[in-house]
Amino acid sequence: MLSLSIALCTRNRIDDLTRCINSIAIGGAPEGCETELWVIDDGELPKHVLERYERQLGRAGIAYRYHRKEQPGLWLSRVKTVELARGDVILFLDDDVELPSNYLHELMHTYETYPQAAGIGGIAQGMSNSFMGTIRCLLSFQQSLSKGRLSLSGQSGSMYNWHKAKKTFRTEFFHGCNMSFRREAIQGLEPVPWLQSYSVGEDLLLSRIAMKNGPLYINPALTLLHHESPSSRDNMEQVTYMRVMNHIHLLRDERSGPIGYAALYWTTLYQILRERPRKNHAAIQGYRRALKAIFSSQKEPLGGGQLPERNSKKTAG
């Protein structure tokens, strides 16, 4: 049976992390599956809290591991996890999720059912869109007509229709709060200059790397509760600016043609129109800066967008 490494990348959110670990411990390790849990810490978790996690997970048959990073950033936490983890499968969870008791068993069973899979992801409970919301997302190129594909502008809004799925389906992207990969499919990760701090879009890049080594699947049975605690401590203008800038890098990486950039421009313009009634001036300013960047993106190299060539030559286990 495949072995499993669970990775919780966190920063100073003890209550969220404790709730998450409680839910993992309640379910326990899948029968016959060697399981470890890594806390990859960008903050300052107290020693007595870490000791409590170790005892709790040990009783659940899960080996506890801890690493405190010196250089913060979510992408760098992913890189460090792949370097440290020993499981055949690496499960990345946000620290503010709760798992149902059968989640880990269902995950490993899905890998047995789809032995060719490079990665398997799940769904966040409550993530959905109204009919009119779906129409708006389609018209603004935030989602595609296919639930497993990114939009023309590289957006992942199609995941808001995942809750309608009744069976496992192919996808080209995962939601970062609930995604797993065969370790061999994502080996050799390296720092990426444009993925800093909260690293907007890192889940899309990681999915793209893994997909070079095999198909990705979403199993609707892998549904968890995502509390969505504040995800970024950066100022709003910078967050909205990087949301667009990182998608420019993703488009550049896949050598997108003019249609992709035009679609991203329209998506960004829609975001500005949406924020105006809310008078969210910081967000609007960030999007305005990004509009200028889209215009110049095909003329000036952004750098750092290319994936390491060796990743595409590995095969999934």
Residues 164, 251 within the same domain: no
Residue 132 within a domain: yes
Residues 248, 115 within the same domain: no
Residues 116, 189 within the same domain: yes
Residues 216, 131 within the same domain: yes
Give residue 256's domain range.
236-295
Residue 35 within a domain: yes
Residues 216, 271 within the same domain: no
Residue 304 within a domain: no
Q: Which of 267, 92, 281, 305 is CA-nearest to residue 179?
A: 92
Tokens (6 digits) for 310: 């060796």
Residues 112, 183 within the same domain: yes
Residue 111 within a domain: yes
The answer to whether the pTM exceeds 0.85 is yes
Residue 60 within a domain: yes
Instruction: Determine the pLDDT at residue 32.
Output: 96
Residues 263, 218 within the same domain: no
Residue 306 within a domain: no
* Residue 26, domain CATH: 3.90.550.10
Residues 280, 174 within the same domain: no
Residue 301 within a domain: no
Instruction: Determine the pLDDT at residue 94.
Output: 96
Residues 256, 167 within the same domain: no
pLDDT tens across the length of the chain (317 residues) = 899 999 999 999 999 999 999 999 999 999 999 999 999 999 999 999 999 999 999 999 999 999 999 999 999 999 999 999 999 999 999 999 999 999 999 999 999 999 999 999 999 998 999 999 999 999 999 999 999 999 999 999 999 999 999 999 999 999 999 999 999 999 999 999 999 877 889 999 999 999 999 999 999 999 999 998 765 556 889 889 999 999 999 998 877 788 999 999 999 999 999 999 888 899 999 999 999 989 877 555 544 444 444 343 333 33
CB 90, CB 183: distance < 8 Å? yes
Residue 302 within a domain: no
Residues 124, 251 within the same domain: no
